[in-house]
A and B are shown apart, each in its own frame.
Chain A
């Protein structure tokens, strides 16, 4: 922590107004049916609540659709669009998804993704503590402290009735705190949270692949892909050319066209294989490839699944079945 200060809750809207002068600001708003992160023009539209917006804020770093290239007869132009953005009220689960998954995948691996990196560099995150676990949340079993995070520029922790303690973790965060927030320096030493043991599948990859009854596990899934769209850590994408523009769009492993080859062959031909891919990618392959499971227990998939599939239950069942008898 570079700086800590106390901020009156009543002054946060003024701070957002100050930020709006230089930045695009994305914050939770209500569209009548749902709470969701959206670019705001008026701080009064921001909804302050303990609820999690139904989609993660990943769209501000990895938009659902983005133009990446425009080409003419003998020219090609790289489209480099990255607006200066502040994402406000991001919870520890989503902050970890940015830091430990999308950052690693798009900017720390063998291939650097300029589009993501430009957006990330132009963005600041203001985190916020969660007061309670919402139905479906299981961040406590995914190694996340819901009440504190350092994986952001500024983190706000409620202190008393009308105050936040703002902790700035980066030089950008210090600047924003000093320039846009009316704050009074205050000492802050967050208490380390007592975390439950992390729920991980401990079996060999081969055992998870072969011993789990994926047919039964996926029986009620309707392959809608909602889980992947609302997830902060899912990041699969596809390209689409239209006219002289190339777009990148989100893809979903739940779709029948995912991994469909030009020949018509699909190595993951059916729902059980696609369901297996989603869970193994999250909890087995990512752990092996980058040292982090791609799930932080935000519970969005569970809350939005039309078939009532509970991700934590599925994870527990996979763990148990994979560790089961050798003849599966």
Chain B
């Protein structure tokens, strides 16, 4: 680990120790060292002792925010910008209260964070999770990715935005899905999920990093993210109180819809 990363870890430890000693928080959601160097462990640290194994490097690229759901009282999260954006979306969608989270941002610039309670500077953070998209008409690329998918739903489970207690893929009435694990079912799932995330994606890339098969269909969601920004000036999780375009219907809306 580089000197730079070690000093970030020391800074994070100091912040968390202080929060524990002042009883501001009861746990920290963070990455810790595991037995396998390349695989950081997602941990809920409940005492200062547990901070010893804190880890911070490029491998710590899984989004953490979803694990905040249902955790009370206050949890601190060591957040990349996308985690902070997810927290804002949770607050906007009434899934989380601002007071229940303490956001410790780690990034290049504090202005990348829509909200934070403490900040540690990381001069060389992860590259943005967004990737160059294949051309929109690339059916071959799409089908190649679909064929690699094993329909395990890891992308959905890793996604902060997929928190429905019962996914449309698991509903019996009406039954949306073709039986089996053919292309039809996989396409129904991925396109359905994409539509549900229109204007709600915080660009964490969790769908891709969690996928056991390395499927990359995030570009579909990216294109809707882009469309929402161009049409509505909306970016998910950037502003407390903002509503995403799909849940903000107005009769006098002059903008075109997604499906036109």
Q: Which 4 A-B pairs have the closest CB atoms?
A: A33-B214, A242-B179, A65-B180, A224-B157
Q: Which residues of B contact A245 (CB under 8 A)?
A: 179
CA distance A213 to B37 in the complex (A): 26
CB < 8 Å neighbour of A54 from B35, B178, B213: B213
Q: Which residues of B contact A34 (CB under 8 A)?
A: 148, 212-214
CA distance A230 to B37 in the complex (A): 21
Q: Which residues of A contact B43 (CB under 8 A)?
A: 220
A199 CB to nearest B CB, Å: 14
Q: Which residue of chain A has the shortest Cβ distance to B33 in the bound complex?
A: A308
Does the CB pair A306–B44 fall under 8 Å?
no
- Asked if B165 is at the interface (CB within 8 A of a chain A CB), the reply is yes
On B, residues with C-beta under 8 Å from A are 31, 34-44, 62, 66-67, 148, 150-154, 156-158, 165-166, 170, 178-182, 206, 209-210, 212-215
Q: Which residues of B contact A150 (CB under 8 A)?
A: none
Which positions 3-60 of chain A face chain B at CB distance < 8 Å? 31-34, 36, 54-55
Interface of B is mostly: loop
Q: Which residues of A contact B37 (CB under 8 A)?
A: 135
A305 CB to nearest B CB, Å: 8
Interface of A is mostly: loop
- Asked if A181 is at the interface (CB within 8 A of a chain B CB), the reply is no
Which positions 232-279 of chain A face chain B at CB distance < 8 Å? 240-242, 245, 247, 249-250, 252, 255-257
Q: Which residues of A contact B38 (CB under 8 A)?
A: 135
CB < 8 Å neighbour of B154 from A54, A65, A302, A306: A306
Does the CB pair B41–A308 fall under 8 Å?
yes
Does the CB pair A242–B178 fall under 8 Å?
yes
Q: Which residues of A contact B154 (CB under 8 A)?
A: 222, 224-226, 306
Does the CB pair A224–B179 fall under 8 Å?
no
Pairs across A and B, CB under 8 Å, 22 listed: A31-B148, A34-B148, A34-B214, A54-B213, A55-B150, A65-B181, A135-B36, A216-B44, A222-B154, A224-B153, A225-B152, A225-B153, A229-B150, A229-B212, A240-B180, A242-B178, A245-B179, A257-B166, A302-B39, A305-B39, A307-B62, A310-B41
A side interface size, CB within 8 A: 43
CA distance A256 to B165 in the complex (A): 8
B54 CB to nearest A CB, Å: 14
Q: Known contacts A33-B148, A310-B35: does B42 contact A304 (CB below 8 Å)?
A: no
Most buried by B among A36, A219, A230, A250: A219
B222 CB to nearest A CB, Å: 19
- Asked if A140 is at the interface (CB within 8 A of a chain B CB), the reply is no
- Asked if A203 is at the interface (CB within 8 A of a chain B CB), the reply is no
- Asked if A313 is at the interface (CB within 8 A of a chain B CB), the reply is yes
Most buried by B among A55, A224, A252, A306: A306
Q: Which residues of A contact B165 (CB under 8 A)?
A: 256
Q: Which residues of A contact B148 (CB under 8 A)?
A: 31, 33-34
